[in-house]
Each structure stands twice: as C-alpha cells, then as structure tokens.
Amino acid sequence: MKILFYARGEEGQQWLDALRQTLPHAEICQWGSMADQQWQADYALVWNAPSALFESQQRLKGIVNLGAGVDKLLANPALPNAVPVYKLRDAGMASWMTDYVRYGVSHVARDMDRYRTQQAASCWQPFAIEPKADWSIGILGLGAIGSEVAQALRSDGYPVLGWSRNQKDIPDIESYAGEVELDTLLAKCRVLVNILPATSNTRGLLNAQRLQQLPQGAMVISCGRGEVIDEPALLELCVSGHLRGALLDVFAEEPLPVNNPLWNHPSVIVTPHISAPTPIEGATRQIGELLQQLEEGVVIETVDRLRGY
C-alpha cells in the first residue's frame, strides 16, 4: 500500500514516524520529499494540502483528512470528485475540547473574569458560588466531538441543551434541531458553545439577531469554526455588556488579523485554534484501522461533500 502524507504546519516527522510504526508494510512518502515526482499513491493523508498534491495523483482510492473539520479540504478546487473522502471522527480531540470548554465555563461560573478585574485593583471580594444547576449550557453541534463534550458537562452537573441539524437522542441532554428551535435554545442558555463545522447551512448562523436571543450576561465559547459567528455582532454585544464575555479559539480569518478589535476587548479571550489538535497517536491508530478496513472492502462512511461534513 502506498501512502502520501502532507500536513501543513504540523510536526511532519512525528506523524511519519507514528504512521510507519502503525503501518509497517506500507510505503509512506511525504509530499515534497518524493524522489520520484511521478510516484502514485493509493491513499493520501492530508491536512491543508496544496492543490498540486491532488493534481499530481491519478490513482487515489481514498483521501483521509487528518482532522475533524473538512471545510478547507472540500474548498480545494483540485480535490478529485470521484475519490471518497474520510475524516477522523474522534481520535482524542473530544477530550481536549472538553477541557477547553470546561475552562471557559469555569471562567464565568466561578467568576474568574471578575477576580481578574478585582485583582487589578487589589480588591479582595469573594462572590457566592452559584449552583451548577443554574448554569444551562447550550452546545451547537452534536457530532462525535460535540456529543462527548455535552455528556462530559452534563456529568459535571450542568443542565445541557444540544442543537444539531437533526434531532439527536443523547441521554440527559435536551435536544433541539432546526432554526426555530435554535431560538428557543439560545434564550435558555447562559453559556453557548459553538462546535459546528463550517458548511453552507452554518456559515453566519449566529448572526446579530440570534446572538441577541442569548440572555443578558451570557458567555460564548467558540471552538468549531469561526465562520459560524458574526464576529462584529459578537464584539458589539460584548461592548454593550449584553454578553459577559467570549472565549474564542476559531475565527473567520486565521490567524486573527492583528488589527481585529477582538484582540483588545477585555471580556474576550482569544486563543490560536488550539482547543482540539489532532493527537498523533490516536489518529494514526484510527488511520491504520480505517485503511485496513478499506483494503478489506468494508464500507466506511465517507464525508458528505454536499452536506459539508
């Protein structure tokens, strides 16, 4: 089996070592360092691959996206139509993302934002802890990662409301679906967590009018894709004080441009898309299993290009 690997901005050598260990019988080449430029692979394992990679390959049986979000891959004009695309479902990303969301929830539920402000004035003033039952959390996106995050927060004791394209049945999670029900959910949650992918249905979904449905003092955590949120509207609601704050890991444009005012608002925390990197070990194990199943002819769910995930 011949495998072509490319991951822009990632630890290439670490990936290659892990892949070679997991797939000892495969011939694995990294794009850009192939001795023979005509070399044709059976599978491409890619993250943010250049168009030239796909243009050079005529024999691919499958393309594996080395992450959960496939938006960049599907937007690549050279992505061959006839080759099935697979994505990593959850190779350990859900656990990272759960930590990130828990941090954001604690930031407001345990008043860390207020204590930071008080510290600047050397002010020693404790606040009573509100019961977790009073902190309803809305999770948008209940895929492999979102549903695990939702269940973890529920088991922490928070009421969790989930929203997805189709109604999901997850124990103890209030499930909402469709745009009308989104408004109902928004009005109920004190913390809103965006774990949605960027698709034609989700881009701009959290516009000014929807963000305003959130109760006064709500917090927004965004770690799916930035295009889902109208960023100027979000900032406006932070400035007006309608929103208590935002913890943002993903943005419509990344890296977030230096002149973007989100950098400077005191109630906004910006992180550089680090909430859930793909763990190499979990990912290579999953890739090994996936490729073996494909070689055996097992039918594996592919990315639905029209749906966008």
The smaller minimum CB distance to ligand GLV, of residues 70 and 243, is found at 70
Determine how many CB atoms are found less than 10 A away from the CB of residue 135: 20
d(CA 51, CA 80): 10
Of 62-70, 76-84, 150-158, 229-237, the window that binds ligand GLV (rule: CB under 6 A) is: 62-70
Residue 67 is a binding residue for ligand GLV (CB under 6 A): yes
Residue 194 is a binding residue for ligand GLV (CB under 6 A): no
Burial (CB < 10 A; 0-12, 13-18, 19+), residue 171, is: exposed
Residue 94 is a binding residue for ligand GLV (CB under 6 A): no
Structure tokens at 116: 């930071």
Residue 199 is a binding residue for ligand GLV (CB under 6 A): no
For residue 26, what is the DSSP state? S
Of 27-35, 61-69, 203-211, 252-260, the window that binds ligand GLV (rule: CB under 6 A) is: 61-69
Residue 271: name the closest of 258, 256, 253 by CA.
Answer: 256
Residue 222 is a binding residue for ligand GLV (CB under 6 A): no
Instruction: Identify whether the C-beta of residue 267 lies closer than 8 Å to the C-beta of residue 234.
Output: no
Which listed residue (69, 138, 143, 226) binds ligand GLV by CB under 6 A?
69
Minimum distance, C-beta of residue 88 to ligand GLV, in the bound complex (Å)? 7
Residue 159 is a binding residue for ligand GLV (CB under 6 A): no
Instruction: Identify whether the C-beta of residue 275 lies closer than 8 Å to the C-beta of residue 96.
Output: yes
Residue 138 is a binding residue for ligand GLV (CB under 6 A): no
Q: Which of residues 240-299 bind ligand GLV (CB under 6 A)?
A: 278
Of 19-27, 66-74, 213-221, 259-267, the window that binds ligand GLV (rule: CB under 6 A) is: 66-74
d(CA 85, CA 100): 28
The smaller minimum CB distance to ligand GLV, of residues 67 and 308, is found at 67
Q: How far is CA 291 from the centre of its chain?
A: 24
Instruction: Identify whether the C-beta of residue 4 lies closer than 8 Å to the C-beta of residue 29.
Output: yes
The residues that touch ligand GLV, with contacts defined as CB under 6 A, are: 67-69, 93, 278
